Amino acid sequence: MMIDKIYCADVKPDMEGQRVKLAGWVYRKREVGGKVFIVLRDSSGIIQTIFKKDSGDAYKLAKKVGIESSVIIEGTVKADPRAPTGAEIQGEKLEVVQDVEFFPITKDASPEFLLDVRHLHLHSPKVAAVMKVKATMMQAAREWLLQDGWYEVFPPILVTGAVEGGSTLFKLKYFDRDAYLSQSAQLYLEAAIFGLEKVWSLTPSFRAEKSRTRRHLTEYWHLELEGAWMDLWDILKVEEELISYMVQRTLELRQKEIETFRKDLTTLKNTEPPFPRVSYDEAIDILQSKGVQIEWGEDMGADEERVLTEEFDRPFFVYGYPKHIKAFYMKEDPEDPRKALAADLLAPEGYGEIIGGSQREDDYDKLVQRIIEEGMDPKNYEWYLDLRKYGSVPHSGFGLGLERLVAWVMKLDHVRWATLFPRTPSRLYP
């Protein structure tokens, strides 16, 4: 009995004796005792196929075919408990779609070379594991957001002004005027809450930062939410429930892929609400007690956050940051005007900030004042200021850096490995 083409992962021991057809790429190959062993790779995984001398032309082709050649293999399933899937294929026919004499990537390739040939590095099952986890995390996010009554919207990428500071804008010509690539969809999401109340989007965001830390990209995928009638504490509850669902659901569906990189799943399993909440004041005290040179009023960078995460075995919030180190749209704390009603969510194990959020300033006059204090022209934000003139309400939101979350879950050493084709200050190719 011939089964139509199936995936490697679909071959099971109870199919012994059945003929199957598989299509994929030669992942590994070796010759032992007159047999050619080809480990076939496709998007589902790998399976071992064996070609013996009595398979004639198929055996001759198997001896010559190169690593990463694309092939179609037909053969008979044989149960074998030593095989990764408990079964292997006794090869009978081999069609070489394209033979590869030499594949440029070897086991000793440097990280920089792998980035130079990223288009070929995507062949790797380890890269595929990261991308499967990333896709599953977004699948989980969509599940939770739909269940909780949030509407997906589709904001523009071409914009006229800054959200996170003018110095990090990518400028371009838009016909006869200047425009910029979006740093965040936030301002547009705020406009959407007046009709939909709870909205979210997934868009690329662009930051012209020359940071070369392990957690910065110039282009990244930004999951952002804005909710009407929500204060800071309401939106923190949304954050922890969403992140918890994303992590637990991905653990459920992709544990094998996660364990390719991370053996200890403790911190992921600990990702259950409520998350610890630490004030900025407490965070400064903790850092100073550990010998970090930082004073109240200073921002925490990657180094400070790394030290702080040593105190926690799960994600945690830091809230109540000084107003002057946060963006203009964050609401002033009425109980302490020095502070903003803002909070960051930090991942443990040294990964630091994965979400930045706040209650938004809903008072027209205060928002104008903050824009001016930041050295910006209120005229560039007329439409945004209109939102505070026509039915303004308390509202809050946040932005999640998807690559940062994936990097923590997969325990990657840099966010560049969490995106298909990373963009950094020194890399625009391929």
- Model pLDDT, residue 198: 99
Q: Are 421 and 118 a contacting pair, CB within 8 Å?
A: yes
Nearest Cα residue to 41 out of 73, 79, 1: 73
- Model pLDDT, residue 3: 56
Domain boundaries, the chain: 13-98, 115-417
Q: Is 71 helix (H, G, I), strand (E, B) or coil?
A: strand
- Model pLDDT, residue 367: 97
- Model pLDDT, residue 2: 52
In the beta sheet, which residues pair with residue 98? 70
Query: Using one digit for the tens of pLDDT, what is the confidence trace for 141-159?
Result: 999 999 999 999 999 999 9
**Within this chain, domains 13-98 and 115-417 share the same CATH topology:** no
Kindly give the residue spans of alpha helices, DSSP state H, lying in 203-231.
Answer: none
DSSP assignment string, 318-376: EE--BGGGS-TTBPBPTT-TTBBSEEEEEETTTTEEEEEEEEBP--HHHHHHHHHHTT-
Residues of the chain short of pLDDT 50, as ranges, are 1
**Residue type at position 114:** L
- Model pLDDT, residue 162: 83
- Model pLDDT, residue 103: 98
- Model pLDDT, residue 13: 96
Q: Using only C-alpha atoms, what is the Rg of the chain?
A: 26
Tokens of 377: 């022209």
Report the predicted TM-score, pTM, of the whole model to 2 decimal places.
Answer: 0.96
Place of tokens 């002004």: 161
- The helix-helix angle for 402-410 and 232-258 (nearest 10°) equals 50
Q: Class assignment of domain 115-417?
A: alpha beta
* CA–CA separation, 255 and 104 (whole Å): 30
Domain 13-98 matching CATH 3.40.50.300: the answer reads: no
- Model pLDDT, residue 163: 87
Q: Is 156 helix (H, G, I), strand (E, B) or coil?
A: coil
Query: Using one digit for the tens of pLDDT, what is the confidence trace for 59-88?
Result: 999 999 999 999 999 999 999 998 878 999
Q: Are 402 and 223 a contacting pair, CB within 8 Å?
A: yes
* CA–CA separation, 227 and 394 (whole Å): 9
